[in-house]
Amino acid sequence: MISYERLVEAKKHYSECGYKYIEVPWEVEHKVEKITKPKNLKSYKLNSGRLVASGEQGFLQLMKDGTLPTGSFQCITPCFRDEVVDAIHAPYFMKLELIKTINPSRLTLNNIIEDAQKFFSRYVECKVVETGDFMYDIVSEKTNIELGSYGLRQHNLVGNWVYGTGLAEPRLSYVIENNKG
């Protein structure tokens, strides 16, 4: 079950860390969606656009439109995914997404990871795992379930940015429940 209370707690935590909360579109242009969408997954069409797979795509739409200023931001959106459904994967869920467009660098990436790790550590023991070049996950120590993904990206349509998961629900709730005992 999605913990909306925890989403509110996360929003407050990230505000205290300097992330300004903004609304982002839940429908983006196909060319914006393609920036982060794996080729083998399907799109969810709506009107002339696509439903977001994460708030990152909403941020990218604002960047492409020239309406996202430089800074540190957070948003909460539903995420629509073409995934195998199991206890930790669903075709839709809620997510607080983080983005930093100011000084996108390894240091900025480390900062966003630290901010997220502080939040997740309130609930479970977690660790950072490198998953690729300038890409990391925060995972639960006990269950090894991914709590969030973080990275540094660049695309000629929108520029450079650092992204990260502030909170995905109901995934964190599932991990908390399965960390008991």
Task: Give pLDDT tens digits for 155-173.
Answer: 999 999 999 999 999 999 9
Question: What type of residue is 137?
Answer: D
pTM of the model: 0.95
Identify the pLDDT of residue 89.
79
Q: Are residues 112 and 138 in contact, defined by beta-carbon separation less than 8 angstroms? A: no
pLDDT confidence of 42, banded at 50, 70, 90?
A: confident
Q: Are residues 39 and 58 in contact, defined by beta-carbon separation less than 8 angstroms? A: no
Q: Are residues 25 and 61 in contact, defined by beta-carbon separation less than 8 angstroms? A: yes
Question: 29-41 pLDDT, tens per residue?
Answer: 999 999 998 888 8
Three-state DSSP at 181 gives coil
Question: 6-16 pLDDT, tens per residue?
Answer: 999 999 999 99
Domains and CATH numbers, the chain: 4-178 (3.30.930.10)
Identify the pLDDT of residue 151.
98
Identify the pLDDT of residue 102.
94
pLDDT for 181 beyond 70: no
Q: Measured between alpha carbons, how far is 83 from 65 in angstroms, rounded to an integer?
A: 29
pLDDT for 144 beyond 80: yes
Identify the pLDDT of residue 13.
98
Contact partners, residue 93, CB within 8 Å, separation at least 6: 2, 78, 79, 81, 168, 169, 170, 171
Question: 66-80 pLDDT, tens per residue?
Answer: 999 999 999 999 999
Question: 63-117 pLDDT, tens per residue?
Answer: 999 999 999 999 999 999 887 777 777 888 999 999 999 999 999 999 999 999 9
Q: How high does pLDDT run on average in the chain?
A: 94
Identify the pLDDT of residue 88.
79
Identify the pLDDT of residue 53.
94
Identify the pLDDT of residue 40.
83
